[in-house]
Chains A and B, each alone.
Chain A
Amino acid sequence: MTAVLDADEASALLDASIAGTLPDKRGRFGPFGGRYVPETLVPAFERLEQGIARYLHTDEFQAEFKSELKNWVGRPTALTFAPRLSARWGAEVWLKREDLAHTGAHKINNAIGQALLAKRLGAKKIIAETGAGQHGVAAAAACARVGLPCRVYMGAVDIKRQAPNVDRMLRLGAEVFPVESGDKTLRAAIDEALREWVTDPANTYYLIGSAVGAHPYPYLVRELQSVIGREAREQMISMAGGLPDVAFACVGGGSNAIGLFYPLLGDRDIQLIGVEAGGTGDGLGQNAATLATGTPGVLQGSYSIILQDENGNVQETHSISAGLDYSGVGPEHAFLQAVGRVTYVSASDSEALAALEELCELEGILTALETAHAYAAAKKWAKDNPGKRILIGNSGRGDKDMPTLTQYPVRTNANAAS
């Protein structure tokens, strides 16, 4: 396994990706991806893979999925022009409003899709991990919708900082299990969900929340989230009169980013920029900027870029946003970085907070702390590239972040002050 590609390899792999032939049969995006799971789970992964092949792209499944997206999730989500932000930045800024989807973020697209699949596979119960709690809420809602019991694993640290979402999950009928081991955030929650799955693989469906993990999850999540980019592409053409010059999305595990970017890969004139959590600084443990500072390794089922020390132990991360606070990243993002199609940058905690305030003030949208990272990077880019048409994936709403945000004073009349 080597993560370094020469120019010819990279170009051929990017063509394959745009042609829709990745991942390959072994779940690889070039060198990245694969399936590194305990032997107990191998039959469960094979069943899942066969189930996807049998159902996912059938007319019958797609009709039900699309109907649920339309009538229960509320899709298509709006594309919103941001006139005041555009004037401030000297750009033409458009927002793909996943915050308007049911339960308040893009996570629901994946959750309802996988819940429908789980039902067809005959699962008796669904397990899920959650970081910010958005996936936990989405999974709880989707399980209620299809009538399956739901158990959500959530790090003890995240339970504290995302308390409103914990209450929502419980009210939606899920059981929430605090994870006290490891880093007590998203990574530990995934480890614990995997342990639970290992104890009853035949009856359990693991509804993973991001484009991470072993094959076929990164593929499955991408397929279910690509609705974001397909809608945005059509809406840009019909509303903005053309495709954007650049698209931004925040990246933790990377599900909203792959959902937005994947349908735009073939439009090679669109620059694609993923934004990771820069935390409080560049040092190991101060951020979650996996693609910017990480190295190749195997974590939680796939070969990707991870934050690790020289002994291969995975490092703890820091971000103000629970949803980006993860030491790994989906293998397809590692791939898109390696072939040069997507650029990955980071925004710090304080830049994200400032961006969140600015969007509230100028457009009346309280965005999620995760999403605010995309705005912070877009603002910087706009300064260096004036007059461009910018698309931002507004992946979720910030109501869940109130416990964190109340720790920072409200800057009254920030507009006049700046």
Chain B
Amino acid sequence: MLPHERIGDAIARANKEGRTGLVPFITAGYPDPAEFIRTLKAVAAAGDVVELGVPFSDPMADGMTIQRSSFVAIENGVTLRWIFDQLDAAGGKIETPLVMMSYLNPLLSFGYENLAKRARETGVCAFIVPDLPLEESDDIRAALEAEGIGLIQLVTPATPDARLRLLAGASRGFLYAVTITGITGGDAGLPADLASYLDKVASLSNLPVCAGFGIRTAEDVVNVGKHVAGAIVGSALVEVLERGEDPAAFLKSLR
């Protein structure tokens, strides 16, 4: 099985158990770099796939929560290189497939071939790059695919149907359905017409669809789970970490 195929497999297993696949997001090394692997293991034990955020100086698609966590992590010396080294040190003890979320520039700076190689070595199965539209992604996609690593595509309520089909076809791992027209961490609640949008995305995708942005409660997870295979929980979990609470307990409450 290719690394990116492990993602769909893990979500399918959750669905088989009658659960919505749970994809928790944490900013790597936040709030305390020394606790990173411990936090990651706790989150990985409660999630089906884990999304690891690489902090960046200009997180333009993120709201205040993830911005704050990114700036703190950068201050504390968290870098892409450091994250890979920490995952090495964890020595393959994390069986949950990992997905890395990073803006493009840190990846560009790291070098795409090296990125794909380090991802494969450390159990990172795919990347989500929020400022990289499909049209600009040929170089990085080729480098990642050479190592079996996926590039997950995002679709949004603003995406026209023809483009949605194109993105669904190009995605690897899962297809990321952004629930709202906006940035991460919104507290306006999920939109009223979410069901028909998610049903449409699911019907156009051969991959499992995971919904993200604005999913904060067990009720939200149940709601999106009626339409798609998985739910991504980001800002709400980062807030739990920010308050110094137990991430595993929070994630269990969502299952």
* Interface positions of A (Cβ within 8 A of B): 1, 26, 34-40, 42-44, 181-182, 187, 191, 194-195, 198-202, 297-301, 306, 308, 310-315
Interchain CB contact (< 8 A) of A312 among B71, B110, B131, B183: B110
Q: Is B181 located at the chain interface by the 8 A CB criterion?
A: yes
Interface window among B30-38, B58-66, B223-231: B58-66
Report the separation of the CA atoms of residues A73 and B112 in the bound assembly, to the nearest whole angstrom. 48
A314 near B183 with CB under 8 A, answer no
A-B contact pairs, 8 of them (CB 8 A): A26-B135, A36-B131, A38-B60, A38-B61, A40-B181, A42-B133, A308-B109, A311-B81
Shortest CB–CB separation between residue B193 and chain A, in angstroms? 15
User: In the complex, what residues of A have CB within 8 A of residue B153's CB?
Assistant: 39
| Interface members, chain B 31-74 (any A CB < 8 Å) | 55-61, 63-64, 67, 71, 74
User: In the complex, what residues of B have CB within 8 A of residue A298's CB?
Assistant: 104-105, 108, 131
User: In the complex, what residues of B have CB within 8 A of residue A181's CB?
Assistant: 64, 67, 71
Q: Is B156 located at the chain interface by the 8 A CB criterion?
A: yes
Q: Known: A38-B131, A39-B178. Is A202-B104 also a contact (CB below 8 A)?
A: no
Q: Is B80 located at the chain interface by the 8 A CB criterion?
A: yes
- A-contact bits for B90-119, CB 8 A (1 contact / 0 none): 000000000000001111111000000000
User: In the complex, what residues of A have CB within 8 A of residue B17's CB?
Assistant: none
B136 near A35 with CB under 8 A, answer yes
| Interface members, chain B 157-210 (any A CB < 8 Å) | 158-160, 163, 167, 178, 181-183
Report the separation of the CA atoms of residues A198 and B154 in the bound assembly, to the nearest whole angstrom. 14
The 7 A-B residue pairs with the shortest CB-CB distance, nearest first, are: A312-B109, A312-B106, A199-B182, A313-B57, A311-B79, A312-B105, A314-B57
User: In the complex, what residues of A have CB within 8 A of residue B80's CB?
Assistant: 311-312
B183 near A195 with CB under 8 A, answer yes
B74 near A313 with CB under 8 A, answer yes
A191 near B60 with CB under 8 A, answer yes
A308 near B105 with CB under 8 A, answer yes
User: In the complex, what residues of B have CB within 8 A of residue A306's CB?
Assistant: 105
Interchain CB contact (< 8 A) of B158 among A43, A195, A300, A308: A43
Q: Is B211 located at the chain interface by the 8 A CB criterion?
A: no
* Interface positions of B (Cβ within 8 A of A): 55-61, 63-64, 67, 71, 74, 79-81, 104-110, 130-133, 135-136, 139, 153-156, 158-160, 163, 167, 178, 181-183
User: In the complex, what residues of B have CB within 8 A of residue A315's CB?
Assistant: 57
User: In the complex, what residues of B have CB within 8 A of residue A42's CB?
Assistant: 133, 158-159, 163
Report the separation of the CA atoms of residues A36 and B130 in the bound assembly, to the nearest whole angstrom. 9
Report the separation of the CA atoms of residues A200 and B181 in the bound assembly, to the nearest whole angstrom. 7
User: In the complex, what residues of B have CB within 8 A of residue A201's CB?
Assistant: 158, 181
B105 near A314 with CB under 8 A, answer yes
Report the separation of the CA atoms of residues A284 and B122 in the bound assembly, to the nearest whole angstrom. 32
Shortest CB–CB separation between residue B109 and chain A, in angstroms? 3
User: In the complex, what residues of A have CB within 8 A of residue B67's CB?
Assistant: 181-182
A199 near B181 with CB under 8 A, answer yes
A40 near B60 with CB under 8 A, answer no
Residue of A nearest to B77 (CB): A311
A43 near B160 with CB under 8 A, answer yes
Report the separation of the CA atoms of residues A199 and B184 in the bound assembly, to the nearest whole angstrom. 10
Shortest CB–CB separation between residue B204 and chain A, in angstroms? 15
Most B Cβ at <10 Å: residue of A181, A191, A301, A312: A312
User: In the complex, what residues of B have CB within 8 A of residue A301's CB?
Assistant: 131
User: In the complex, what residues of B have CB within 8 A of residue A310's CB?
Assistant: 109
Report the separation of the CA atoms of residues A382 and B159 in the bound assembly, to the nearest whole angstrom. 55
Shortest CB–CB separation between residue A162 and chain B, in angstroms? 22
Interchain CB contact (< 8 A) of A198 among B61, B133, B135, B167: B61
User: In the complex, what residues of B have CB within 8 A of residue A300's CB?
Assistant: 58, 60
Q: Known: A38-B130, A42-B163. Is A311-B109 also a contact (CB below 8 A)?
A: yes
Shortest CB–CB separation between residue A73 and chain B, in angstroms? 32
Known: A36-B131, A40-B158. 4 other contacts (CB 8 A): A43-B160, A182-B57, A187-B58, A298-B105
User: In the complex, what residues of B have CB within 8 A of residue A297's CB?
Assistant: 105, 108-109
Report the separation of the CA atoms of residues A308 and B106 in the bound assembly, to the nearest whole angstrom. 10
Report the separation of the CA atoms of residues A53 and B181 in the bound assembly, to the nearest whole angstrom. 26
A36 near B132 with CB under 8 A, answer yes
User: In the complex, what residues of A have CB within 8 A of residue B71's CB?
Assistant: 181-182
User: In the complex, what residues of B have CB within 8 A of residue A182's CB?
Assistant: 57-58, 67, 71
Report the separation of the CA atoms of residues A306 and B58 in the bound assembly, to the nearest whole angstrom. 13
Shortest CB–CB separation between residue A155 and chain B, in angstroms? 13
Shortest CB–CB separation between residue A325 and chain B, in angstroms? 15
Report the separation of the CA atoms of residues A314 and B158 in the bound assembly, to the nearest whole angstrom. 29
Residue of A nearest to B67 (CB): A181
User: In the complex, what residues of B have CB within 8 A of residue A38's CB?
Assistant: 60-61, 130-131, 154
User: In the complex, what residues of A have CB within 8 A of residue B154's CB?
Assistant: 38-39
Shortest CB–CB separation between residue B215 and chain A, in angstroms? 17
Shortest CB–CB separation between residue A267 and chain B, in angstroms? 34
B79 near A37 with CB under 8 A, answer no
